[in-house]
Each structure stands twice: as C-alpha cells, then as structure tokens.
C-alpha cells in the first residue's frame, strides 16, 4: 500500500472509530437519563395536603404527590364524579360514600396484604367498615368518635355521660349545632336507644324528629363552618355541642380552654377516612405502593395530628409514636380502654333502607326551622 493510500486508510478508520464511539456514548447517555417521575394525584380531606405529611411520603416513594382537598363527603363525591376518568390515583372516602362508590363500580377491590396489619384495632382488623360482602375497597387510616364536646366550667363530667344534658334548663341557649344532619341525628338516635342509628323505620324517625324539636329552644346557633362551632366554644358563648368529638375538642384543649369531650353511656357514632383506588386510576402500581407505605406507624401517627384537625388512628403501634399530651387529648393512654370505646360506636352511614335520605333531610330542615 502506497504512503498516501495508507494515510487515507488510517484517517478513515480513525473517523469511523470516533463515530462509533460517539454513537455509543450517545446511546449510553440516552439510556442513563432518568425516567419521568410519576405524579400521584389524590382527592382528600383538608389536612392531607400538609407538607409535614406529604413530603416524607414523596421522599420514600420517589414520586410527586398532588392533593386536591374537599370538605364533606358530598363535595368529595361531586368532585370525583365530575372529573374526567383517570384524574385521581387515590381518593379518601368515608364509610357513607365509600360503599356507594364501590357498588357503582368507581373503586377497585383492595388486596388483603394492603389493608391488614398485626396490631389493628377491631373492627379494622376485619376490613370493616370498608367491606362489601367479602371484598374490601379501602385502607382505613383515621377515625374519630362523635358524642359531646362541652365546657367543663358549666357541665360536669357526670352530666356529660348522657345526652340528656342537651335538654337541661341550664344549657338553654348554650347549645351550638354543626349544621350537618348525619352526625347530629345519629347521636340523638343513639340516645333514643337505636344501636343502628341510621336504620330507622318511619315511626322511629318521627320519634327522632320530636326529640329534635324539643331540643330546638336550647340551640344558640347552627353553623356550616366547623371553625365557627369551635369559636363559639372557645369564647364560652356555647357550652355544649352534640355530634362532634375529639377532632373539635383537641385544638381547644391544646389552647388550655376548659373544654373536654365524651361519648355518653348511650353510645356514639364513628367517622372513618380510608384511602381507595379508583377503577380509572392511571398509576395503580404506585398507588398500591403508597398504601403499603402510608399505613406504617410513623405515617399514621403524623396523619393523626394534622393542623386542619386531629384524629384517632388505626394501629396500636402508631399511638406509641405520639406525645403523652396528644394521647391524653385523644383519651388513648390505655389502648384497651380505647378499644372498648370503639365498640361503643356505630358507624356513620347514609340513612336506610327503611327510610330515605330525603326524609331525614326533611326532618333536619324542620328542626332548624323549629316547625312542628
């Protein structure tokens, strides 16, 4: 090979090798690029969007979490059903609307491994109250007890052991009502002796109506906003409120106000919040991983003490991560006693089947109007 040909050949080989190397680097760089971060979109009560709760989960899961908040199950249902399919990967439901949504085919069945834990309180250890037949549709993460919240300067602990105090002459004009029929009618139904407070026939509903009408002269105000209810109690303008519990009392007890809460001897009502996965969710695998992580004790303890409102939690081990003051406010110093409290509660549900929601809401409107 002549010198010029040899020089040309070497030049071409070097160029080809360089091109191959560059191509290899380009492929390597392309494959090394990180995949797009998954965003989990959650529809939840206020409080679930607080950074102290969200950021540790984002870090552990390696995802971005975006939370759209609501206040009230009816608002949740409206937002969820009004959104395009696939908008949400997770939704926080209560017992009353969760069962309805599952029967409508809007929520996925949750595998047992995702909702069980070795130290769950009953009935959560059995999948209740987010079970339809043999299928569970949610992972319960919070609950609370609804009974009475009262001013300890004017009402004794003994008086607060019965809803009868609501009709006492001493609290005339000092009863404040959170303007939502379900919790209030539920606890008065318990007072009247119904262990299933939302399953009433028409005669029993009429009895409940008469009890409410007798209560009407005692009522100082009805408030749609929970903040207004709390402010009335804070200022001492109201002395007692039925149908609420530790979630409302906790903030005032932290402030040192003379406020406490009780579940009277007639029993109370329980609210719950559970994570569910919509059937239209886009990121099912990531949503299931979220459920595995969020039910760990440290996340449950953090979720129980949100700024928006405080709550009880579902695992015994989560209480061990709370402060002594938090456990005092929640009346959770003795977890066996807390289990007994749970057994005294009936699950808050939509009315039925013997009377309809419309009938109950009509009674509630008459109560507010004071009409007979």
List of domains in the chain: 39-141+272-324 (3.40.190.10), 144-269+350-369 (3.40.190.10)
pLDDT band at 370 (very low <50, low <70, confident <90, very high): confident
Residue 36's pLDDT is: 79
Task: Say how far residue 228 (Cα) sits from the centre of its chain.
Answer: 21
Tell me how far apart the alpha carbons of residues 96 and 34 are, in angstroms, rounded to a whole number.
Answer: 42
Residue 371's pLDDT is: 55
| SS3 state of residue 138 | coil
pLDDT in tens, 228-243: 999 999 999 999 999 9
Instruction: Please state the three-class secondary structure of 268-316 as a single string.
Output: EEEEEEEEECECCCCCHHHHHHHHHHHCCHHHHHHHHECCCCECECCEH
Quick check: 4 pLDDT over 90? no
| pTM beyond 0.85, yes or no | yes
Question: Which residues are within 8 A (CB) of 247 and not within 5 positions of it... i.e. 6 or more apart?
Answer: 144, 309, 310, 311
Burial pattern 138-167, b for ≥16 Cβ within 10 A else e, equals: bbbbbbbbbbbbbbeeebeeebbbebebbe
pLDDT band at 143 (very low <50, low <70, confident <90, very high): very high
Tell me how far apart the alpha carbons of residues 196 and 199 are, in angstroms, rounded to a whole number.
Answer: 6
As to burial, measured by CB atoms within 10 angstroms (0-12 exposed, 13-18 middle, 19+ buried), residue 262 is buried
pLDDT band at 115 (very low <50, low <70, confident <90, very high): very high
pLDDT in tens, 183-224: 999 999 999 999 999 999 999 999 999 999 999 999 999 999
Backbone angles phi, psi at 144, to 5 degrees: -150, 160
| SS3 state of residue 82 | helix
Quick check: 76 pLDDT over 70? yes
Average pLDDT over residues 145-156: 98
pLDDT in tens, 21-43: 444 444 444 444 445 789 999 99
- Of residues 367 and 18, the one with the higher pLDDT is 367
Please, what is the Cα angle at 323 between 319 and 328, to 5 degrees? Answer: 80
Give the mean pLDDT of the chain.
92
Quick check: 14 pLDDT over 60? no
Residue 365's pLDDT is: 97
| SS3 state of residue 169 | helix
pLDDT in tens, 265-324: 999 999 999 999 999 999 999 999 999 999 999 999 999 999 999 999 999 999 999 999
pLDDT band at 17 (very low <50, low <70, confident <90, very high): very low
The neighbour count for residue 52, using CB atoms within 10 Å, is 11
């Amino acid at each position: 090979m002549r010198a010029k040909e040899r020089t040309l050949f070497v030049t071409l080989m070097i160029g080809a090798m360089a091109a191959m190397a560059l191509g290899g680097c380009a492929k390597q760089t392309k494959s090394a690029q990180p995949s797009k971060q998954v965003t989990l979109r959650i529809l939840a009560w206020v409080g679930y969007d607080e950074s102290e709760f969200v950021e540790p989960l984002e870090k552990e899961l390696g995802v971005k979490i975006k939370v759209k908040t609501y206040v009230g199950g009816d608002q949740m249902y409206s937002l969820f059903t009004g959104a395009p399919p696939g908008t949400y990967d997770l939704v926080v439901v209560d017992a009353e609307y969760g069962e309805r949504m599952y029967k409508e085919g809007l929520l996925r069945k949750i595998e047992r491994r995702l909702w069980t834990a070795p130290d769950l309180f009953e009935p959560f250890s059995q999948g209740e109250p987010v079970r339809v037949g043999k299928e569970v549709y949610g992972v319960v993460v919070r609950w609370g007890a609804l009974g009475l919240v009262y001013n300890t300067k004017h009402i004794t602990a003994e008086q607060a052991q019965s809803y009868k105090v609501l009709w006492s002459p001493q609290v005339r004009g000092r009863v404040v009502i959170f303007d939502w029929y379900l919790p209030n009618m539920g606890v008065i139904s318990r007072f009247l002796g119904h262990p299933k407070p939302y399953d009433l026939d028409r005669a029993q509903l009429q009895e409940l109506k008469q009890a409410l009408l007798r209560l009407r002269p005692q009522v100082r105000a009805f408030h749609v906003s929970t903040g207004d209810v709390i402010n009335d109690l804070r200022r001492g303008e109201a002395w007692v409120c039925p149908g609420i519990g530790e979630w409302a009392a906790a903030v005032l007890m932290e402030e040192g106000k003379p406020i406490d809460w009780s579940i009277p001897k007639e029993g109370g009502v329980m609210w719950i919040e559970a994570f569910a996965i919509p059937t239209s969710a886009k990121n099912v695998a990531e949503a299931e991983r979220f459920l595995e992580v969020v039910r760990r004790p440290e996340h449950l303890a953090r979720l129980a003490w949100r700024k928006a409102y405080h709550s009880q939690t579902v695992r015994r081990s989560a209480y061990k991560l709370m402060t002594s003051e938090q456990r005092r406010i929640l009346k959770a110093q003795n977890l066996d006693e807390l289990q007994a409290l749970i057994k005294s509660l009936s699950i808050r549900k939509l009315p039925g089947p013997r009377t309809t929601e419309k009938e109950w809401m009509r009674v509630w409107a008459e109560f507010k109007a004071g009409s007979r």
